[in-house]
Amino acid sequence: MSRSLKSLFSKKFGGEPDCIVRAPGRVNLIGEHTDYNDGFVFPIAIDRDIRIAARRRRDEEVHLHSVNFETDTVFPVDALEKDPQHPWADYPKGVMAELTKAGHTLSGWDAVIYGNVPLGAGLSSSAAFEVASAYTLSLINEIPFDSVQMALLCQRAENRFVGVQCGIMDQFISALGKKDHALLIDCRNLSYRYVPLDSGQVSVVVCNSGVQRGLVDSEYNTRRRQCEEGVQLLSEAIPGIKALRDVSLEDFETHQRLLPEIVRKRCRHVVAENQRVLDAVHALENGDVEKMGRLMDASHASLRDDFEVSRDELDLLVDLAHASEGVLGARLTGAGFGGCTVNLVQCDAVEAFVRQITEAYRKKTGLSLETYVCAIAPGVGELEG
């Protein structure tokens, strides 16, 4: 695509782009709804990405062309407003707004944008677009690119300009992913550790339920509030806690009666999920992929029963995966309410698994299932040629 993106750029704007940048989407292996609770997550960057071919302009205008939406938008660098005709442009606009706020002066730019991260599927196309935009703008304007700071800036763009109160996971993995490695992130202090995933032994297979993530924004914000309420109530008994990250499983057991039922369930998920992430990293580092799979199964059950962010199609996909040979673990991935499941599958079983689950899902729901066998890609970077 980078060659054809280059020729699309020439057709649209004449001449060559200064750079072509790609930033990956992600799949979270385990650690769901933990990032905004100061907890742990364990995602991979995948070989599905957003690409931007771009060139600096001599004036202060921005000309963007979206290949996917077959549309153009033009706006000045100093009047960044949401445009309901072009909601896709909110992502680079949000990043530009944050870069400007951080004291950088931005020139105008021309760009052609293409992505193959499925939209609304929970694979973080938005974060990929933000991170690709930040990297492109850094190159064009000669701003030093610090990966962690850029991830934070992109999260602010999403929180403030786009208006979604997401945590840090998606932008962080898109900026810092590493080929053939999963990334353990401590979302409190943003320290991180790469853990190799042996692609000769196990594959990560994503199944896209085809059900768009309805309700995700309002329900996501409700979950955040319930977690905060839990911290407040628990802090009466466990002084000094700032987030659910600070609550151990033992403390939770002892003090859970202080919580109303719904809040109790939400908190139980987060407290247990944090421990599962650490156990999963430990398992993978010891080559115990069966254990890793069992932890993924437990994560799904907890997201379904306690955090209540699953839905029938996702539960069905997980059940079908369990009935298939060579599947070590399966769970919903991302915020929930639709989107995708992630499956850890023994390499030699992948083909049969994909065939069986596609057929069974179609029979039960009438829906056609998209599956992706993911390669673990590096984080954001420039493409040659």
Residue 170 as a binder of ligand GLA (CB under 6 A): the answer is yes
Q: Which is nearer to ligand GLA, 155 or 324 (CB)?
A: 155
Token couple for 275: 């421990």
Query: Smallest distance from the beta carbon of 148 to ligand GLA, in angstroms?
Result: 15
> CB under 6 A: which stretch of 27-35, 133-141, 178-186, 315-323 binds ligand GLA?
27-35
Helical segments of 102-166, H only? 125-141, 147-156
Give the binding-site size for ligand GLA (rule: CB under 6 A). Answer: 10
Which residues in the 324-343 window bind ligand GLA by CB under 6 A?
334-335
Helical segments of 207-260, H only? 216-234, 249-255
List 5, 64, 166, 175, residue binding ligand GLA (CB under 6 A): 166
Task: For CA atoms 104, 12, 20, 73, give the dihedral sign.
Answer: positive
Enumerate the active-site residues.
Answer: 170
Residue 167 as a binder of ligand GLA (CB under 6 A): the answer is yes
Q: Which is nearer to ligand GLA, 108 or 334 (CB)?
A: 334
Measured CA distances, 90 to 20, 38, 46, 84, 213 (Å): 20, 27, 23, 9, 19
Strand, helix or coil for residue 345 = strand
Q: Which is nearer to ligand GLA, 64 or 132 (CB)?
A: 132
Q: CB count, 10 Å around CB of 255?
A: 17
Residue 32 as a binder of ligand GLA (CB under 6 A): the answer is yes
Residue 131 as a binder of ligand GLA (CB under 6 A): the answer is no
Rounded-to-integer distance, Cα 259 and Cα 231, Å:
10
Residue 94 as a binder of ligand GLA (CB under 6 A): the answer is no
Token couple for 290: 């069966």
**What is the chain's length?**
385
Residue 24 as a binder of ligand GLA (CB under 6 A): the answer is no
List 13, 36, 337, 361, residue binding ligand GLA (CB under 6 A): 36
Which of 173, 165, 144, 191 lies closest to 25, judged by CA?
173
Residue 154 as a binder of ligand GLA (CB under 6 A): the answer is no
Q: Answer whether 108's CB lies under 8 Å from 60's CB.
A: yes
Strand, helix or coil for residue 65 = strand
List 17, 30, 33, 88, residue binding ligand GLA (CB under 6 A): 33
Query: Smallest distance from the beta carbon of 218 to ligand GLA, in angstroms?
Result: 14
Query: Residues interacting with ligand GLA, by CB under 6 A?
Result: 32-33, 35-36, 166-167, 169-170, 334-335
